[in-house]
Structure 1
Amino acid sequence: MTRTLHLVGALLAASLAGQSSAETIYGLAGAGINQQLVTFDSAGLAVTNAAPISGLTAGLGTVSLQSIDVRPATGELYGLDNNSLLYSINPVSGAATQVGVQLSPTPTGTTSTRTIDFNPTVDRIRVLGDSPSNNNLRVNPSTGATLVDGTLAFAAGDVNFGTRPFVVGGAYTNSDRDPATGTTLYDIEAGLDILVTQTPANDGTLQTVGPLGLTVSNTGQVSFDISGSTGLAYLVGSQLFGGTISANTLYSVNLATGAATSLGSITGVPSGSVTDIAVAFPGAPVPEPTSITLGVLLVGGLLLGRRRV
């Protein structure tokens, strides 16, 4: 029995160690009245919490969140809906609370490919949109006040100069509370299936990093975020509109080359595909092992112990 208990302890320790090295990731799944906020971790890839999105302000058509991100200054989860309204979101209950007023000017173009990410050095939201409008907006997260920045375009001398970009995802590095660390904005460009930098971000100047190695439909959605804790870049694709990227599969993206590598499929997604992700702020708790998990480990340990008798 002592040996069995030691074995169970080792199994539990291994489980906890795996969870301690994992990163908590929030995701949007589904749309409209069926839209939910899911939570999973980068190691286990199993959904540990799913909550219906509630509290969105009624507007034109069916209202859904289009993109989410964590605000480094406060650790809060924010979202943007298809009527250009900002919300703070409870990551456990899915309850959304409107923040400020409607973005003005509002982003133009296809709402399904709008993406948001916080610039950690100035506490402003970058809103990027699809072609042909190529929105590049800067938003105050407390009021919704919006500034229009330079139109997205490839830099002179870049290998893709002159090509109209189609940005469907963007994320800043060093999402922390230390402005001295600096930051770089990386984008996913779906027309050419490449990773690019947007530097300076306010100018909208794009510079090619390299190919993703995946076909991303230029009318689809890609969820993209960079961890403020580890600096790892994560991508989840959607097959809602085609492309060869695998739906509900988590990929890592090499920021030096652009290459995407599959980390495995996200299991337990309750409705449709994951359409956007946000890595939790450093220090966010990783879900504890459930009683079912502990039970499985205990039974497994007992069975292994019996075989050794």
Structure 2
Amino acid sequence: MKTTVIHQTFATLTTVSLLTAGVVHAEANGGLTAIGLSGDKTLHQIDATTATVKASMEAQGVTKLLGIDLRPATGQLIGVTDTFEIVEIDATTGATTVISTMDTPLPIEGDAPVIVDFNPAANKLRFMSGTTNHRVDIESGAVTVDGSLAFGEQDMHAGEAPAIVAAAYTNSFGKPEKTAMFDIDSTIVALIQQTSPNDGTLAAIGKLGIDGSDTYAFDIATDAQGTNTAWLVAGGKMHNVSLEDGSVQQSWEITGADGVALRDITFMTAQ
């Protein structure tokens, strides 16, 4: 049974809430809206076309969110709490509804980054930290412990310890027949492909070409035509990243955030 948490009205950056259903999804004029996560549980509505934070709110009924992601099959905004509850987040109010609790906790060392991202083809949640690699059925909370993250034997970084801090899947619109998983490694500051997500096998694609950052937020936005656009937030900027060679193609300073460091981001493209 789902448990609904009673919520409070949140303060936005404007006098009228901008987090309405009409702007949570891509607007008719081509606008693209993302939801970013900072601090323990602060959510930010971001206009990706201008790299501008339009509104902010606190998620209600939780102490901390480890990460957030769009569930492409349903269009739900999903979060995972520090007690391993899987919650649906109302993007208009910040209210949270408990869906399930994971039956196996994820080992997390200190403030190590945690990856929360949906495999759109399997409709399962990829949940990782350090080299630990879990796959989760969010309806039941059942966890499958998959292979530890490691560079493939033929990769140039074989034998090195990976430092995966963010991840995203392609084709995250509806329920596609196929998808591919890409990660960010903070040690080599590069794009990595998780060529076998369940086995944890990693293959370096290429360096981002930017300075390293204390936090990284990464997602791949997929539109109704199946076009994938990789977005990275690092160093106070939004970047477009090539999935072919890993290089940053364009960058924009984020405005309206007052120096907030985003540690996760998801693009609300599902319909």
Distance 1:215 1:48 in 2: 26
Distance 1:226 1:123 in 2: 16
Aligned with residue 51 of structure 1, among 46, 57, 60: 57
Distance 2:141 2:259 in 1: 30
Change (3 A) 1:154 1:184: same
- 2:84–2:105 contact (8 Å) kept in structure 1: no
SS at match of 1:199: strand
Are 2:263 and 1:281 equivalent residues in the alignment? no
4+ runs of 1 displaced by more than 3 Å? none
TM-score, structure 2 length as denominator? Answer: 0.83
Distance 1:270 1:94 in 2: 21
- 1:66–1:111 contact (8 Å) kept in structure 2: no
| Matches for 1:158-237 after TM superposition, within 5 Å | 158-180=155-177, 182-217=178-213, 220-229=214-223, 230-237=227-234
Q: How big is the alpha-carbon RMSD for the aligned residues of Structure 1 and Structure 2?
A: 1.9
SS at match of 2:222: coil
2:32 aligns with 23
Distance 1:214 1:205 in 2: 25
2:81 aligns with 81
TM-score, structure 1 length as denominator? Answer: 0.74
Change (3 A) 1:270 1:83: farther
Letter in 1 for 2:216: V
- Deviations 1:100-119 (Å, cap 9, x if unpaired)? 11351433334540011100
1:93 aligns with 93
- Deviations 1:240-271 (Å, cap 9, x if unpaired)? xxxxxx22x11111100101244312222267
Distance 2:207 2:141 in 1: 34
Change (3 A) 1:117 1:23: same
- 1:19–1:43 contact (8 Å) kept in structure 2: no
- 1:137–1:149 contact (8 Å) kept in structure 2: yes
- 1:69–1:79 contact (8 Å) kept in structure 2: yes
Change (3 A) 1:44 1:122: same
Change (3 A) 1:92 1:263: farther
- Deviations 1:167-207 (Å, cap 9, x if unpaired)? 00010000122432x10000001111111111111000001
- 1:30–1:271 contact (8 Å) kept in structure 2: no
- Structure 1 residue ranges without an equivalent (≥5): 1-17, 57-62, 238-245, 284-309
Change (3 A) 1:28 1:202: same
Paired residues, what number?
242
| Greater helix content | 1
1:257 aligns with 245
1:117 aligns with 117
Deviation at 1:210, TM superposition (A): 0.3
Distance 2:270 2:166 in 1: 21
Query: Rg larger in 1 or in 2?
Result: 1
Deviation at 1:137, TM superposition (A): 0.5
Distance 1:66 1:253 in 2: 24
Distance 2:67 2:215 in 1: 10
- 1:195–1:209 contact (8 Å) kept in structure 2: yes
SS at match of 2:196: coil
